[in-house]
Structures are given as C-alpha cells and as structure tokens.
Amino acid sequence: MFYRIILTIIFVFNVILRVGWLENQPSSMNFDEAALGYNAYSLLKTSRDEYGNFMPLSLRSFNDFKPALYAYLSIPVIKILGLNQTSTRLVSALAGVVALIPLFWFIRYFVKQKWLAIFFWFIISLEPWRLHYSRTAFESNLSACFFAWGAWYLFESIIAKKIPVKKLLMSIVSMVLAIYSYHGARLAVPILIFLTIIDPIEWFIVKRFNLTKKIFWSTGLTIVIVGILSLPIFLENGNLILTRLKQENLIARYSPFAPTELIESMKFDVARLAASGYYFGSMVSGRLLSSFSPVNLTSRIYHWVKGSDQYIPQFGLLGWLEGILLVIGIVVILRELDYKKYRFLVYWIVAGSAPAAMTWTWFHPLRALNIMPALEMVAIIGSITIFYKSIYKWVGVFVAGLWVLQIIFVINNELGYSNVEIHGEYQPGGFKEGIPLLEKLQKNYDQILIDSPHAQSYIFFLFYQAYPPEEIQKYASIRPQPGIGGDLSFDFDKYIFTKYDWPNQKDYKKTLWWVIGEVKESEIYRETGTNIYRIGNAVRDHEATIITKD
C-alpha cells in the first residue's frame, strides 16, 4: 500500500511539474509551437489546416509537412481552454507524463529491488530532457511517448516464451501512432522491428541464426501491418512528404563530403569517388554515434542548438551524473550481450539513432528523443553496477544524494532560469505581450506594417489573436510553394511584412507599424498624430515597438 502511495505521489509531482505554469514558462512560443496550435485551431473550426487542406495527415505549415497527430490531439484541449500557450503545450505535457508508465515498467524489469526501482523512476522521470521537452509543444515528444510504449510491448513480446498477440498488437498501434506523430519514427520503427527479429548480435556472438518460424511470421507480420497503416501518410502528398527529407538531408548539404583541396588534387574520378565515399562514411557513422555520445548528451551544446527551443541551459539532454553512469552502463551492456534484454536496448538505440544519421546536423536533440528511454536504462544499469559492486555502500548513498540535489537544480533550472537563456531567435518575445494591444488598436488603421527578423513571424499574429482560419485559408494560393526556403511570411488582410523605413514611410496615413527593437522616437514624434507603444518580453523591458499614425 505504502509503495503505491509513493508511486502516486511521484506521478502527481511529475504531472504538476509538467502541466503547471505552461502559460509563462517558457514565456513565449516558438514558431513551430504556434503553427501546431494554430493548425489545431483551424482544424477545430473548419476541419481544414491553415492552407485549407481537408483533414490532412501532414500539416503543410512552413512547407515542412509536420505530422498532424499532435494537432488533432490538441483539438479537444483547445476547444475547452481556447487557443493559448497552455492548450497548445498540454498534449506534449501529458505525453511526457504518459511516457513515464513504460519507463517504470522497464525500470522495474531491470531493477529487481522495488524500492530501488522507485528511486530510479523518480530520478529519471525528472531528467532535464523529460521536463524541458514536455513543457514545449514538440511532436517529437509525443512520438517519443508512443515509441516508448511500442518498445515496451515489443520487448515484452520478445522476452516472453510464447508470443503474446495482444501485446504485439499494442506494440503495432503504439508504433504506428509514433509514426503519425514525428518524421523520425518513420525510419526508426521498421529498423527496430527488423533488428529485433533478425537479432544480428546474437548471430554474431553465438554464431547461430536463431530465427524461428514463429518469430519470423509474427514480427514479419508486424512490419507489414505497420507499413500498411503508415502508408496513408506517404500516399496523401506523394513526393511533397519527402520535402522535409530534402531540406534536412546530409547529401545535399555536404556533397562531395571530402575536403575540396584534397579532392581537387586527385587526378582520377575513381580516387575522388573513393575519397568522397570515405568521408561520407565518416559523416554517417559519426552522426549515428553522436546520438549516444555521452558528451553530447550531457554537456556539449552545439551552436545550432543554443538559442533554439531545444536548448536546455547547463545540460545536454541527460543530467551530469547520468553521463558518467551511461559510460559504465554502455561497457556493462556490451559485455553482457548474451542476454536478449540487453541486445534489445542496443537495437533500440541503433534504430532510434538511424534517422539522425542521414541529416545534416551532427547531433540534434529532437531526433534523439526516441532513444532516450533506452539510454536512461543504460545509465540505470551503470548505476546498479555501482550500487552493487562498490565495496563501500556509502558510495551508492552518496551518488543518490547528489542525484536528488541534481533534480532540485533541474527543476529550478527549467522553471526558474531557462527563460533567461532561451529568448533567442526561435523563442521570440514581444509577440505574446504586444499582440493583445495590437488587437485593440488595429481596427482604427488601414494597414499594419510588420518588420520582424524572426522567420515565419506571421504565425504569431495568427496564433495570439486566434485569427479566423477560414480567412487565412483564402490566401493559400499566393503563399510560397514547397521547396522554397527563407522567410515564408506573406501579406494578408491589413498585414504587410516589409522593412521599417521611417523617412520614406512617415507620410503614410492610418498606419500601424510593428518593429522589433529600438526606433528613433524623436523622429517619430516630429510627425503629428503619431503614438509609440513599447513592448517588453520576459527578459527585456523593450523588445518591440508599436507605432501608430492617424
């Protein structure tokens, strides 16, 4: 009974930390969050996305064709709470909570002592990534949740003596939902199932190909079912769905891979091809391994992560202690590969890392989310080794104490501090604070000129004032077509996205300007009928300026 009470307390504590204060921590939305929220709102109101596509499986959004499941799941929440930051983030927050259940089952399987298992569950449930990614609307967090459920049922299926059909079905459903939630799972799911069936490590170690008919048919069937169920995504938009892959793939950006000076000095095409192949191999395997490189997971922050919504100040994805325990765990697992349970973790990590291997960024936290539960299990296995094998029990107690302190730091960091550092380009401030004022003012003006350095900033004007979706759908034909990069803003209604140029624009009548940053107020006040409103954000008193001229 006491055990259950403690479990419930931990669970409720996790719910509070994920669901609480979503409106102001993180203080403002990034553009992907706003797009998810607005499309969900659009689906709620019109059954169409912002482009007018009827019940799509992929949201065209910024021509990146986001999987639409997150938006569909957000519809009832938005219906109840209205379109705001909380309602947009709630699905991710709840996914973060629900993902704790398979995590507990995994921990319980690997840690035989129940109180120790509870302790690990408590610690791991508050990993920096679990808290951070649950508090922002990320489709990848939803996908990671489904993936973890699918992995658990798959795991249960393969360790059972008799394959449980119900659990296999549960695994299929969860995996398909993961596929419908995020791009990465589309590759990770079939690879995980394939590796689990073939079990190449066992073949390598034990030198026998242990593929029984029963396993072959059941898991083969799983792949086929998963394939068929995910087919609609690919059929819906044909090659447009591959747009995202085209934007992000490694080949387009780095070809011919080898250093130019090296390639240029080679006389024969064959030599150039071989050199390119060699460096391509390095890039792919490096990206694959980067997803579980301890330094990436704990401390190294790449410049493409810093300032983005994925950035967790002071951390990678895991806590610092877990970085050390992860190394120990990796060594233990690699030495114990005779056991199916450890091999499964290896397959999970390889499958989850595979999508990242073909993208241009070396290490991308969002694409690593699917493997995080597996890595956490590896860290737990590392810590069990310390707990059981250390000569002095106080070492274990000491590590546990440090872990609890780390958790307190993580909570402070996420709820208290992260706003200080994440107001970069991707988490722009000023829109949330200024748009309500803009809404009040705009009816008196004929045009609204917006000068914003933020990419796709139009979405904030749609999101924060819950702009009628049926109106915005009318502009679908004039919006930039898929494959076009850069700023995707477009003029709609009174809104015109243009550069602020007061000397040439000062004669405009009935105009409102939205300018990010400082303006020369004395110049503006020289004109009659002008007014200036300074807009702050979480970290600064002045982030944007609204200028009105009658």
Partner 1 sequence: MIWYVLMIFVWISWLVVGWKINYPPTIEQLNLIMINVWFMRIVSLLCICLSLFFLSKVVKVQGKWLVLVLSISPVVWGLWMCHPIICLEWLVIAFLIWNWQKAGYGWRWIVFILGIVLAFNLWQTKERSPFFYQLSLRDAQRQVIERLSAEDGLRDKVSMPLFIRRISYNKFYFLFKNVIQEVIKYPDLETWFFGETHPLQQKALPLFLWPVVFLFGLGLIITRKSTIEWRVYVVFLVLGFFHFITSGGEIWIRFSMTMWILALIISEAVRSSYKKWIIWPVYLISFYGLALWQNDILKRPDYWLDNRPLVFQFWYESLKNCDWKSATKIQVSSVVGDTSLYCRYYFGKSCDDRFMFSGFSWNEVKPDKGYYLGFAGEYVGSEIKNNIDRNWMSLTEGAGGQIIDKKIIRDNIAYGFGNEVAVVRKY
Q: Which residues would be at the binding site for partner 1 (CB under 8 A)?
A: 20-21, 24-25, 27, 205, 258-259, 261-262, 265, 274-275, 278-279, 281-283, 285-286, 289-290, 293-296, 298-300, 302, 314, 320-321, 323-324, 327, 330-331, 334-337, 362-363, 402, 405-406, 408-409, 411-412, 415-417, 419-420, 536-541
CA–CA dist 130, 141 (Å, integer): 9
Tell me how far, at minimum, the Cβ of 288 lies from partner 1, in Å: 10
Tell me how far, at minimum, the Cβ of 425 lies from partner 1, in Å: 18
CA–CA dist 93, 57 (Å, integer): 22
Closest CA to 459 of 485, 495, 424, 405: 495
User: CB-hemisphere CA count at 13 Å for 475?
Assistant: 16
Taking the least distance from each CB to partner 1, the nearer of 21 and 388 is 21
Tell me how far, at minimum, the Cβ of 477 lies from partner 1, in Å: 38
Tell me how far, at minimum, the Cβ of 1 lies from partner 1, in Å: 29
Tell me how far, at minimum, the Cβ of 38 lies from partner 1, in Å: 22
Q: What is the DSSP string of 292-332?
A: T-HHHHHT---TTTTTSTT--TT-SSS-HHHHHHHHHHHHH
Tell me how far, at minimum, the Cβ of 504 lies from partner 1, in Å: 29
Taking the least distance from each CB to partner 1, the nearer of 388 and 398 is 398
3-state secondary structure 448-460: EEEECCCCCCHHH
Q: Are 241 and 233 in contact (CB under 8 A)?
A: yes
Taking the least distance from each CB to partner 1, the nearer of 142 and 350 is 350
53 CA to centre of own chain: 24
The contacts found for 468-475 with CB under 8 angstroms, 24 or more apart, are 468/45, 469/38, 469/41, 469/42, 469/45, 469/46, 469/48, 469/50, 470/45, 470/46, 472/42, 472/50, 473/42, 473/46, 473/48, 473/50, 473/51, 473/52, 474/52
CA–CA dist 160, 166 (Å, integer): 12
Tell me how far, at minimum, the Cβ of 265 lies from partner 1, in Å: 6
Tell me how far, at minimum, the Cβ of 118 lies from partner 1, in Å: 21
Tell me how far, at minimum, the Cβ of 86 lies from partner 1, in Å: 13
Taking the least distance from each CB to partner 1, the nearer of 98 and 327 is 327
3-state secondary structure 114-144: HHHHHHHHHHHHCCHHHHHHHCCCCHHHHHH
User: CB-hemisphere CA count at 13 Å for 302?
Assistant: 14
Taking the least distance from each CB to partner 1, the nearer of 261 and 507 is 261
Taking the least distance from each CB to partner 1, the nearer of 362 and 502 is 362
CA 418, 419, 422, 426 torsion: positive or negative?
A: positive
Taking the least distance from each CB to partner 1, the nearer of 220 and 416 is 416
Taking the least distance from each CB to partner 1, the nearer of 21 and 209 is 21
Taking the least distance from each CB to partner 1, the nearer of 336 and 446 is 336
Q: Are 217 and 197 in contact (CB under 8 A)?
A: no
Tell me how far, at minimum, the Cβ of 170 lies from partner 1, in Å: 32
Tell me how far, at minimum, the Cβ of 3 lies from partner 1, in Å: 26
Taking the least distance from each CB to partner 1, the nearer of 286 and 483 is 286
Tell me how far, at minimum, the Cβ of 93 lies from partner 1, in Å: 14
Tell me how far, at minimum, the Cβ of 334 lies from partner 1, in Å: 4
Instruction: Work out the number of other CB atoms within 10 angstroms of the CB of residue 86.
Output: 18
What's the full length of the chain, in residues? 550
Going by C-beta distance under 8 Å and a sequence separation of 6 or more, which residues neighbour residue 539? 419, 420, 423, 429
Taking the least distance from each CB to partner 1, the nearer of 331 and 455 is 331
Q: Are 56 and 241 in contact (CB under 8 A)?
A: no
Q: Which residues of 398-426 are buried (b: 16+ CB within 10 A; e: fewer)?
A: ebbeebeebbebbeebbbeebbebbbeeb
Taking the least distance from each CB to partner 1, the nearer of 121 and 403 is 403
The bridge status of strand 495-497 relative to strand 447-451 is parallel
Taking the least distance from each CB to partner 1, the nearer of 292 and 492 is 292
CA–CA dist 348, 150 (Å, integer): 11
Across the beta sheet with 447-451, the strand order is 495-497, 447-451, 511-516, 544-549, 530-535
